[in-house]
Structure 1
Amino acid sequence: MVSEGRAVVNDPGRRRRQGRSVLTVSQARSFADRLMAAIEGKNSRLCVGLDPRVADLPEVVMRSDGLSVPTVEAVIRFCVLIMKAVAPYAVAVKLQAAFFEVLRVGGDMAYFALAEAASRLGLITIADVKRSDIGSTAEAYAQAYLGTPDAPSPFDAVTVNIYLGLDGVRPFLETAQATGKGLFVLVRTSNPSAGEVQDLRLEDGRLVHEAMADLVRQWGAEMVGARGYSDVGAVVGATVPRHLELLRGRMPQQFFLVPGYGAQGAGPQDVVGAFDDQGFGAIVNSSRGIIYAYRQQPYASRYAPEEFAAAAAEAARDTRDAINRALQDVGKLRLN
C-alpha cells in the first residue's frame, strides 16, 4: 500500500510548483519532500561526505591535554566539528561506512552516534553502505540502516547496490516505505572503471546503466512525495557530465546523489545536468575537498591544521555558492 501523502503524478514539475513551501523538513512524511524542504531552507544542494581516514586526521583531534586519545574518539571529535562547521551550508551528510568499519570495536557505535548528531544539527543523513543481498539478509540490512516503525534509525537514506535485481532491492523499498526513508540506488558511478560494466550495450540497444535507470524509475513510481520526487533516488556520478543530463531525462522523478565533485575532478559546470529546470532534483557530494580543505589551496594558506573546521566551513560555503552560480548561469536558479 502506498503511504499516506504520496501519489504517482504525471507532471512532477507541476507538483513541485504547487507544493512549494507547504511542508517543513520536520513535517514532511516523504524523504524526498524533506530533502526538497532542506534545499529550499538553505538554498543549498551540497552534501558533505564524511570519510574520516585515520591517517588524514589533524593532530589536534588525536590528542587531548598532551595525551593520545582513542582512535574512535578522535574520529567522532573530527566528524562532529566538521558537521557543526558545514551545517549552515550543506543540506546533507553522507557517512561512508568503510571508514567506521575499519575501526572495528566502537566503529559501529560511532557511525550511528554521528548520524544522530547530524540529525540534531538539521542535516539529512545518508548511510553510504552500498548494501545488497536477498531475502532475510537484505531485510536485516534495510532495518539496520533505515530502522522500523518500532525501532527508528537516525539515517534518512541508504545507498543500495542494484546488481542482484529486485530481490536485493525489495526489502529496502518496503522498509523505506514503512519508515518514510529514502534509497539511492547505484546507476552510473563516478569511478574510472565504471564503464567496463555500466556502459555495456544490451541486446535491446540500451546501455546497462540505462536499464538500471529504467528499473529505478519503475521501482520508485509508487513512492512519490507531494513535491513530485520519489523516495527512490539514484547515484549518478559527475565525472561524465553527459550521463547526468541523459539520465535526468530518463528518471524525471528521481533525486540524484552526485559523487565525483572536487577531488575526483568534476566542477560546478559539470553537475548542472543533474538538476531539473527549477534547480531541484539533485544533491552534489564533496568529501575530501571539504573535510580536508585545510590541506588544500586556497584554504591551506589561511588556516592552520588546528583550524580544520573553519577551513571546512569556508570550503562548504564556496562549494554551495559555486553550484548555485552554475545553475544560475544556465537559467535553472534565480539568486536573490
Structure 2
Amino acid sequence: MPQVPSDPAPAVPAPFGARVARAMAAHGPLCVGIDPHPGLLAAWGLSDDAAGLRDFSLTVIDALGGQVAALKPQSALFERHGSAGIAVLEEVVAVARSARTLTIVDAKRGDIGSTMAAYADAYLRDGSPLAGDALTVSPYLGFGSLAPALDMAHATGRGLFVLCLTSNAEGVALQHARDGDTSVAGRIALGAASANRTARDHGTLGSIGLVVGATIGDGAHEAGIDLAAVNGPLLAPGVGAQGAGGRELAAVFGAARSNVLASSSRGVLGAGPDTRGLLAAARRSADDAATALRA
C-alpha cells in the first residue's frame, strides 16, 4: 500500500532578530508597553479587575496593532488578577499575533535547571498560550542559567531580552561590580554577544538582546560594555515619561543606536482610552525616538 505522507513539520519563523529589525524599519524604533496599572485603569474609567484589564489591553491592541514595532505586556500587572488575569494575558498574546504585531512578554523570568526549563516551556515553546515573540529574562543566577531559554528561543525562532543595565539605583552595586577586569553587566553582554555570533557572521541582527535603561547616562562605558558588539536588539525602557530624550539616548547607546528599540508605556497610554489619541501618541513617540537615535 502507498504510504500516506505525514504532515510536514511546522515551519520555524525567521529569527526574532530579523523580524524585529524589519518591524523597526517599517514602523519606527518603538515598543509600547501594555501596563495596566490601577491608576491607568481608573483614568480610563475601567474597573481594577480582569474585565477592566481585558478592556484596557484590547483597546491598546485595537489602536496600535500593526502600527508599532512591538507591544510589551507587563506580566506582573496581569498576574495580580490571578488566573483570570493570566487568561487575559494569553488573549493579548493571541490577539497581537492576529494583528501581526510582535509581542515581548515582560516577565523577567530567571532560575536554574528544570525550573528555568519550565519557564522556557511556558513562554517560548510553540503552542504555549503565553509564548509571544520574545521574553524578558533575568541572568543574575549566572548567564549560563539561561541555557534552557536560549535553546528554546533558538529552536522556535523567538528572542530574549536579558536584563543588563537597569535604571534603578539599587542595580548599580551589582551590575557594576567587578569580577577581575570585567563587570557583572559586562559578562552578561559578552554572553549575549556569544549567543549572537552566528547572526553576526551572516551580517544580521541576533535574537538575544539586552535590556538597557535609557536613563543610565554613561553607565555602559563605566561598566566596560561595547553595546554595538552585542549585535542584538537593545530594549530601552525610560523613553518619554521617565525622561529620556535624544541627548540621553545618544549618550547611552552611541554606535549601537541603530539596534535600539525604545520602550514607552505611560507616555503613550496616557493618551487613552481614545484609540485615535493612542495612535497619535505612539506615532509621536516613534518619530521622537527615531530622530533621537539618528542624532
After TM superposition, the score normalised by the length of structure 1 is 0.76
Map of 2:193 onto structure 1: 217
Deviation track 1:98-120 (CA, whole Å, cap 9, x = no partner) reads 10110013111111110111122
CA distance in 2, matches of 1:275, 1:33: 22
Is it true that 1:313 corresponds to 2:289 in the alignment?
no
CA distance in 2, matches of 1:131, 1:220: 20
Q: RMSD over aligned Cα, in angstroms?
A: 2.6
TM-aligned CA deviation for residue 96 of structure 1: 0.8
CA distance in 2, matches of 1:101, 1:86: 23
CA distance in 2, matches of 1:311, 1:249: 34
TM-aligned CA deviation for residue 274 of structure 1: 3.1
Query: What letter corresponds to residue 167 of structure 2 in structure 1?
Result: S
Query: What letter corresponds to residue 96 of structure 1 in structure 2?
Result: Q
Q: Give the one of 281, 285, 288 matched to 1:322.
A: 288
Q: Give the one of 23, 44, 49 matched to 1:38.
A: 23
TM-aligned CA deviation for residue 259 of structure 1: 0.9
Contact 1:100/1:108, CA 8 A, preserved across alignment: yes
Map of 2:208 onto structure 1: 232
Q: Secondary structure of the equivalent of 2:182? A: coil
After TM superposition, the score normalised by the length of structure 2 is 0.85
Larger displacement relative to structure 2 (82-91 or 167-176): 82-91
After TM superposition, list the pairs within 5 Å mapping 1:45-60 onto structure 2.
Answer: 45-58=29-42
CA distance in 1, matches of 2:241, 2:182: 30
CA distance in 2, matches of 1:27, 1:164: 30
Map of 2:137 onto structure 1: 160
TM-aligned CA deviation for residue 70 of structure 1: 8.0
Change (3 A) 1:59 1:188: closer
Query: What letter corresponds to residue 209 of structure 2 in structure 1?
Result: G
Q: Secondary structure of the equivalent of 2:193? A: helix
After TM superposition, list the pairs within 5 Å mapping 1:151-190 onto structure 2.
Answer: 154-190=131-167
CA distance in 2, matches of 1:102, 1:152: 18
CA distance in 2, matches of 1:54, 1:141: 27
Contact 1:244/1:271, CA 8 A, preserved across alignment: no
After TM superposition, list the pairs within 5 Å mapping 1:247-286 onto structure 2.
Answer: 247-249=225-227, 251-272=229-250, 273-274=252-253, 276=255, 280-286=258-264
Deviation track 1:217-253 (CA, whole Å, cap 9, x = no partner) reads 1233246595521111111111123245774546341
Greater helix proportion = 2
Deviation track 1:79-111 (CA, whole Å, cap 9, x = no partner) reads 111122233542001111110110013111111
TM-aligned CA deviation for residue 147 of structure 1: 1.3
Deviation track 1:130-149 (CA, whole Å, cap 9, x = no partner) reads 1111111111101101114x
CA distance in 1, matches of 2:220, 2:58: 32
CA distance in 1, matches of 2:24, 2:12: 15
CA distance in 1, matches of 2:130, 2:217: 34
Is it true that 1:72 corresponds to 2:72 in the alignment?
no
CA distance in 1, matches of 2:108, 2:271: 26
**Is there any run of 5+ residues in structure 1 with no aligned partner, and where?**
1-25, 63-68, 295-305, 331-336
Identity of aligned residues (%): 31
Q: Secondary structure of the equivalent of 2:233? A: strand
Contact 2:90/2:129, CA 8 A, preserved across alignment: no
TM-aligned CA deviation for residue 76 of structure 1: 1.2
Contact 1:135/1:167, CA 8 A, preserved across alignment: no
CA distance in 2, matches of 1:191, 1:87: 30
CA distance in 1, matches of 2:283, 2:103: 19
Contact 1:248/1:275, CA 8 A, preserved across alignment: no
**Is there any run of 5+ residues in structure 2 with no aligned partner, and where?**
1-10
Q: Give the one of 94, 105, 111 matched to 2:72.
A: 94
